[in-house]
Amino acid sequence: MERESASLGGEPVSLNQTIFQGFEWYIPADHQHWIRLSQAMPSLASLGITSIWIPPATKAMRSTSEGYDAYDLYDLGEFERHGTKRTKYGDKRELVQLSEIANRHGVSILFDAILNHKMGADNTESVRAVKVDPEGMVLFMIKAWTKYDFPGRGEKYSSMKWNKDHFTGVDYDQKSKRNGVWRFQGKDWAHDVDEELTNYDFLLGQDIDHSHHEVREDLFNWVEWLSSQLRLGGLRLDAIKHFSASFLRDFVRHIDQNIDAGTDWFIVGEYWRADSKVLSAYIEYMNHRMSLFDVPLLTNFYNISKGILTDARRVFDGSLAAVKPKNAVTFVVNHDTQAGQSLEVFPILVSSLFFLRLLLPCTSSPDFLSLISYTDFRKTIIEPWFLPLAYSLILLRENFGIPCVFWADLYGTLEPTLPQPPPSNGIIIPRLILARKLWAYGTETLYFEDSPTCAGLTRAGHPSRSAGAGLAVVMNTGWTSSGKHMCVGKVHAGETWSDVLGQTWGEVIIDTDGMGYFRACPRSVSVWVHDAAEGRDEADSLVFDDGGYSAVQGAMDKIKLREPLNTMPAWLQSTTEA
């Protein structure tokens, strides 16, 4: 018996928080995703989802792109560009409707904000720039795509027109028709960014100069404006390792001081670094006001699933949630770690080595082989057999970060080369989410001591949730069946427990000391719960399928997505569709 948490006593406890990433990289470019999410909201809320991270809702360089090529932050699918008003996911009216429907179901919206760069400028400007190259730094006159006039929007919401003064560098010279990295004369990369590759300010596109007073003012105004347009519960901030930490701290402070209920916003940043010391230091710099995704834990999941780490007892070693549980967002998969995407191998793609080599200052010019040895190439694709085990660890533990469930693990993926249904045909992971909602409360005891392949934990339950029902989890990474003698509490003596996931047959009768022997089949996880627990019938019959889309057939759901919803807010019913 490794550790027992402090009891919560008899005071009521709040519902466990669970984030859902409401998209994958391969969402169809049908401009209907906001409606798709609106239709899914009742079932997601019923399952136990409390927050939904939506894809970038601002106008991108292309109407079919995923949104990370940000063009205009003030356009949520409202203004004409290249013959359309909609983003890949829909128009502003549908987005507003989604935020209203989510609010009614007690689900908060996390808005994906792209503040590092812009792409898709309206015109070029001549600018003197230094090409970043280990072979030498030469000053050029280039044509840079830095002029943003926003002709579709004009000056509505913001009068600022972006130009070369508002950027530090670009990745393309229109004059020479060449790719590369050019730093503008008189500008410098931000110094308070990640030190990977010496300085990792530049990522792509037109790199925003967050030290410029007009940029700061416009971004501060934008987030206030955004809060007036949508019902939001917080932000997901993209690529924060690539822009000024001091700016971001000021940005978050501005939210807290200038937005109604801004201090209640949940803010999580994407800082892709498998080093919990670095991530912890960043959280402390942000005065613990921000959370970060737990990349080190994901690394451990990968290593166990691939057999690189054979001792499952070390799964939490070095994780962010182990040292900053209140500021960690745990996850198993996201859109960037899907097959073929940018973080399938991290921290950088093998194919991007030459491009990233250009970012190194001349004063630290390592040769190509040095760069390869410096970079730690670890694939983050988790083996399918381990997905349920990983999800059980992030969903059912006590005070171990807030878990985030990925779209494809509920709805499947439309990945072009291999579309797939959800893991376990939509049975195991939805039941794990529901188990978190119903029974993952009360005293936690970990059983990680005696076996490198079999680990367990119990939650004793809490009187204010599901009439005090608890659970017992056994995770088995070995090739033979295994089990654990574990205590679930004397209050459960005499109860008959069985595996709610249906992975392991049989029953366990809890003895007078609150003990039972709980088993798991090879390379699987079992979650044991009282047969008569509140919510057990719902869990036993749950097969999650509310029609997100069929990944096997590659077809959209049968819902007529363009029909108005019966739950449409009254104040929107008179609004004509853009």
**For residue 467, what is the DSSP state?**
G
Closest by CA to 530, choosing from 578, 576, 446, 472, is 472
d(CA 16, CA 439): 10
- Catalytic option among 201, 270, 398, 495: 270
User: Catalytic annotation on 495?
Assistant: no
Across the strands, what pairs with 556? Answer: 549
Using alpha carbons, list the distances in angstroms from residue 231 to 261, 439, 489: 11, 30, 42
- Catalytic option among 66, 238, 398, 499: 238
Closest by CA to 215, choosing from 286, 342, 117, is 117
For residues 420-432, one letter each, b for 16 or more C-beta atoms within 10 angstroms of the residue's C-beta and e for the rest, the string is ebbbbebbbbbbb
**For residue 465, what is the DSSP state?**
B
SS (H, E, C) 35-88: HHHHHHHHHHHHHCCCEEECCCCCEECCCCCCCCCEEECCCCCCCCECCECCEC
Closest by CA to 94, choosing from 50, 30, 28, is 30
How crowded is the C-beta side of 393, counted as CA atoms within 13 Å?
A: 31
**With contact defined as beta carbons under 8 Å apart, do 403 and 328 qualify?**
no
Across the strands, what pairs with 60? Answer: 70
User: Catalytic annotation on 188?
Assistant: no
Phi, psi of 458 (to 5 degrees): -130, 150
Q: The tokens of 539 are what?
A: 């869990």
Backbone angle region of 106, left / alpha / beta, with phi > 0 → left and psi within -120 to 50 → alpha: left
CA geometry: angle at 240 spanning 237 and 245, to 5°? 115
Across the strands, what pairs with 378? Answer: 346
Q: Residues with Cβ < 8 Å from 88, sequence gap 6 or more?
A: 27, 29, 31, 33, 55, 60, 63, 64, 65, 66, 67
In 132-188, at which residue ranges do the beta strands (DSSP E only) sit? 138-147, 167-173, 178-184
Q: Residues with Cβ < 8 Å from 208, sequence gap 6 or more?
A: 115, 116, 117, 118, 166, 167, 168, 215, 243
The residues annotated as belonging to the active site are 238, 270
